[in-house]
Amino acid sequence: MANPRGRYFIKWDEDHAIQFKSKIYPPCEPTFLPAQTYLDICIADTRLEFINLIDDKLGTISHDSDHKAILMEIKLQERIQLESEEPKNPIPLYKKTKWNKFGNNLNRAYLSEVPDDRNLSKEEIDSFLDTINDAIKIFIENTVPKATSRIRSQYYLTNKIKKLQKLKSNTLTLLHRLQRNNNIAQISATKLLLKNIRNEIQNEITNNIERHWEKTLNKVNHRDPQKFFPIINKVFRPKNRTEIPNLHLNEAERNLTLRCSINITNTVNSEIIIEDQQEKVNIFEAYYESINSPRHLNSNTRLREIIDAQTTQFKTEYDASYAAETTITNFGPDNKAYGPPSEVEGPITHVLIM
């Protein structure tokens, strides 16, 4: 590179290579065929690993031009997931779930009957609860819609495509009606119309996808280095989830671990080290709770003292009753848990504890 542009380019590389983490890769053979000169080069991120280097140079490939293209084969640390692929963990779409239908199907499938004419033991209650919980989980897994690639493709839908889909639906309805009347001529014409509509929908979606990626590629401006690599990395090298660094708590902050019930297992020089990700989040929550809770929870007020006293008394009585296996009422043929007598003196609390 003896010309001024070459010298300027070399100087730019020397001044900015560290800043932009860039490296120049020349071709291994001439790329401009008429003059047999090396006009094309590759500027790449130093963190990329090329697997087709020849003496630290890149190979070339012929195409319909007087220049040869530079061939780059890159080894990625992680597999790129394109938008058309199935997500590894499909996201449940609870808002699209028909819960009334879900409940009716669950009632028909859940055949375990809980006795209503006798008191149940604690073990029986736990067993029935586990059974119904398992049934609910299975039904949620099997019936709740999930965000598959088909649903993700709705990102490319436009008003024109939605109108075409509605037209396709109406045409299908018309076709079903014609098939009942066995009108051969109209059926053939309607099938042809339906085929054309489907092709038009597919072409429109394909064009939208191409326009989306063309728009993304047009944002890549090699003359703007501040945006060049961020856009490239956004497509090919999505950032991994940021990890929270280890937390170091001093003795004055020990009360935060008590707020979120964390077992202290690692201490260095009287500092508590929090390494688990979930425990780090709990510490943050405890810290902000210690700041905001007093004014929202009526701390150090007479009302709070009354509430705490009443709840403590209730919990003590409940624990004692649970330990003694006492019951408030006895279920039987005349006092069933699902349909107690309507005329009783005083309220009856149905507790399935024996």
CA distances from 273 to 51, 127, 243, 263 (A): 42, 40, 15, 11
Between 297 and 108, where is the model more confident? 108
pLDDT in tens, 284-310: 888 887 776 665 566 677 887 888 899
Tell me the CA end-to-end span of the chain in Å, nearest whole number.
93
Cβ neighbours around 31 below 10 Å, total = 20
Which positions ≥6 away from 179 have C-beta within 8 Å?
187
pTM beyond cutoff 0.85: no
For residues 147-173, b (16+ Cβ closer than 10 Å) or e, as one string? Answer: beeeebeeebeeeebeebeeebeebee
pLDDT (tens digit per residue) in 216-273: 778 887 777 777 777 777 777 666 666 778 888 887 787 888 888 787 777 777 788 8
